[in-house]
Amino acid sequence: MARTQTTPSTTETKAPDFIAWHVQQKGEKSYWNKVGASWKHKDGKGMTLQLETLPINGRIVLRVPSDNTEGTEGARS
């Protein structure tokens, strides 16, 4: 038997608390690529990390979202 939801869903999309970046060092430059996001739990005792891709090398850095996150991907000195 299928379950049906009798009350309308009132969940609204919440902006992420952190953006997950894959950082890879190549010589003097580091390359940052957005790989996911994370949200804090309501009870303050943890967070959920949702990755769109899983890097096999480098490191994952969680940073507070900024207004210009779309323009920050790529090489950094």
Strands (E) located in 1-77: 18-26, 29-40, 47-51, 59-63, 74-76
Local structure of residue 67 (DSSP, 8 states): T
Q: Mind listing the pLDDT tens digit for each residue in 28-58? A: 999 999 999 999 999 999 999 999 999 999 8
Contact residues for 19 (Cβ-Cβ < 8 A; gap 6+): 34, 36, 37, 62, 63, 64, 65, 69
**pTM given for the model:** 0.70
Q: Domains of the chain: which residue ranges?
A: 18-66
Residue 8 has pLDDT above 80, yes or no: no
- What pLDDT is attached to residue 74? 65
